[in-house]
Structure 1
Amino acid sequence: MKIHIINGPNLNLLGVREKSIYGDADFITYFNTLQQRYTSHSLTYFQSNKEGELIDKLHEVGFNSDGIILNAGAYTHTSIAIADAIAAISTPVIEVHISNVYKREAFRHKSMLAASCKGVIAGFGLDSYRLALENFLNQ
């Protein structure tokens, strides 16, 4: 299977920022662990702090992949443009969050993306990504 992981703003700072919320592991190390565990599958990773670049990546991979795991960061709660991009592509998208957004500030309780996604996984730390990946692999 060909699965793409796309991370949005500030997720390049994992392991450095707000460790009490996001933990102390950086994403590249975690991604390498996923690649080593799932060697028979093609896993790619992209991160951007720019909304347009996230949309461009969704357009690029959204018609020739088996799945997309998307953590859009704060854009989850604000971006109709990313929601439209997800709705426009044929590849299923699972929205993920490291923290349990429903235990945080009220503005984080609303996802602009969820209605266009296959599902949402939140609150399991970096393991949220593995859970999404397992969903795609077990179809």
Structure 2
Amino acid sequence: MKPLVLVLNGPNLNLLGTREPAQYGHETLADLAQGCADAAHAQGLEIEFRQTNHEGELIDWIHGARNRCAGIVINPGAWTHTSVAIRDALVASELPVIEVHLSNVHKREPFRHLSFVSSIAVGVICGLGSHGYRMALAHFADLFREHAA
């Protein structure tokens, strides 16, 4: 059975491709989902790819991952800088987490430099666009192979 990784995306990521393309690129959320599915398949992983603009829904998905998934890749969007609740849900999941951002948050407004997720994540990837998601999935595949050996 292939390890299942939950790939979660927060608010406004449904607008990818049209929202600030100079910052976030021209890929749509559907393009991102397909790229993740292709990368997961190539790495021997299964994924569930989701996006929401509702914080409680994201927290429910994280809770549901416990005892069901092998890891979580998350781009919390603006909730990165504001949500202790998402951080606490990720901790409670007891799963390895990789935080991903399309843009380099450290080259942006100072309020984007704070992340409630980074301190509990096994890794953080930012500024590499959709490639960051593929890197996160590749890292999980390596981690799961090492764990299985």
TM bucket normalised to smaller? over 0.9
Equivalent pair of 1:8/1:48 in contact (CA under 8 Å): yes
* Structure with greater proportional helix content: 2
2: CA distance, partners of 1:63 / 1:72: 21
TM-score if structure 2 supplies the norm length? 0.89
Q: Which runs of 5+ in 2 are unaligned?
A: 144-149
**Any residues of structure 2 matched to 1:18-97 within 5 Å, and which?**
18-39=20-41, 40-97=44-101
Q: Which amino acid in structure 2 is aligned with residue 11 of structure 1? A: L
Moved more, 74-83 or 34-43: 34-43
How far is 1:93 from its partner? 0.9
Segments of 4+ moved more than 6 angstroms: none
Equivalent pair of 2:9/2:50 in contact (CA under 8 Å): yes
4, 7, 10: which one aligns with 1:5:
7
2:126 maps to 1:125: no
How large is the Cα RMSD of the aligned pairs? Answer: 1.1
Query: CA-to-partner distance for each residue in 1:25-63, whole Å, 9 max, x for gaps?
Result: 112123213323432421111111011111000000132
TM-score if structure 1 supplies the norm length? 0.95
Q: Which runs of 5+ in 1 are unaligned?
A: none
